[in-house]
Every structure is written in structure tokens, then in C-alpha cells.
Amino acid sequence: MRPEVTGAVGRLAGKVALVTGGGRGIGAGIARRLAAEGAAVAITYGASAAGAAAVVAGIEAAGGAALAVAADLADAAALQAAFEAAHQRFGRLDILVNNAGMGVAAPIDEARLEDFDACVAVNLRAVFVGIQEAVRRMGPGGRIVTIGSVNGDRISFQGGAVYAATKAAVAGLTRGAARDLGARGITVNCVQPGPIDTDMNPADGPWSAPARAATALGRFGEAADVDAMVAFLCSDEAAFITGATLDVDGGYNA
């Protein structure tokens, strides 16, 4: 079960985190989990204003500190402004979770160029911009975690080429950034979820049967499975883990 969201207690006490796409799904779970571990949390959101407000209200009701900032992650200036807003509110940044993402489902010969560009802008360019903005504010001990996808390694359905390409690129960006930032004491890792039961990918949805069958455990995971891994990677316990791509997938990639 997910730990209760409380104030500044736990292994992330005194830390400040920014989670992109924290108003719904996996991102909302990550934001709540980091707050439960003691971090002050800023989240960005796009269309999910009500969800973001609910996440902030829940954290604050439990004695934590949170901030929601609207930002179109396809707009680099908007993302940069979100980092500045978080820094102005909390005065520091220790953790970045690049969670926000989008999908494009179309056979490679039918995918539109504008959809390709949009997917790259959110899934890859925003991660690049986020890492740059984070390291300008981070000191030694900083943690950067990007939510990739097992589809970056294995695409088991038709129509996922563009999405898979961006997630494979994120894993490569993670390894390169880890090399660049290691001497500064900042770790950079990628978490690759498999089939996770969310409103965007429900366990009873139209694509759920083949996704479930592709796992070794024969079931979907929960958002809490992902946020537990993220919280670990953001903690001191994971200080010697960097440049890693870690699957939370029920054996999808086994």
C-alpha cells in the first residue's frame, strides 16, 4: 500500500522535487509519494488543472508543501518558467522527475509529421530542457529520474514506432547525462514502466489483453509500483545508481 502523505518526515525530508505531468496518473502518484517521503513538491500540468489542484490540496492537507504550475511542455519557455516558479517558491531544487509524456499511435507510413514533432517535443525535447534547467539549480546529491517506457526496448504492437523511438532516445539521453553529471554528484536514471493501470491505459481497456499476456506476471501493475521505484532512486540509498534503465514491467521485457 502507498504510504500516507505526511509532512517533512522520511528519507526525502528537506528536499524539493519537481514532477512534470503531476496532475494525473503515474505523475500524480509520484508527486504524492515524494511528499509522503518528506519532500516539498512542485508539479506541472497541462489539461489536468483539476487533478493538479487535487494533488496539491491532498499534500497540503497532510501537512506537506506543494505547488502546481501550468506549463505546455512542448513550449520550452513555459517549462523554463515552471522551474523558475518552483525555485522562487521553495528556494532550491534537489529532485527532477521528467514524467510527462504523450503517445502517437499510427503505422509508420501513416504517421503525420506534425504528430512526430509533437511527440518528440514532449517526450524528448522537454526532458532535455528539464535536465538543463534542473542542473542549473542542483548541487551534489541531486537526483534526476525520467519516466521512459518498456516500448523503448520492445514494441509488441503495430502503430507504436514514433512513441518507441522517443522512449529509446530518452534512455540514451539518460546514459549520456549520467556521464556528464557524475562528477557533480548528480545521478540520472530512467524508469521504464510496462503495462500500468491508469486512466490513460486502463487494465480493462481495448489494448489490455495483449499487454497483460506479454508480461511474465500476467497482470497490469499499479502506479504505486512505479512511484516506489522513483522514490528509491531519489533517496540516499540509491547514491551509487546512475545511468541505469530500470524496468517496472511485470516481466514484459524478460
- Please give the positions annotated as active site: 163
175: closest CA among 242, 116, 94?
242
Rg (CA), the chain: 17
163 close to 149: Cβ distance less than 8 angstroms: yes
- Beta bridge partners, 221, equal 196
Residue matched to cell numbers 509519494: 33
97 close to 78: Cβ distance less than 8 angstroms: no
190 close to 148: Cβ distance less than 8 angstroms: yes
- Beta bridge partners, 17, equal 41, 95
- Alpha-carbon gap, residue 82 to 58, rounded angstroms: 21
DSSP reduced 3-state for 201: coil
- Alpha-carbon gap, residue 227 to 250, rounded angstroms: 15
Helical segments of the chain, H only: 25-36, 49-61, 76-90, 113-120, 126-135, 161-181, 208-214, 223-233
Residue 107 cell numbers, joined: 503505422
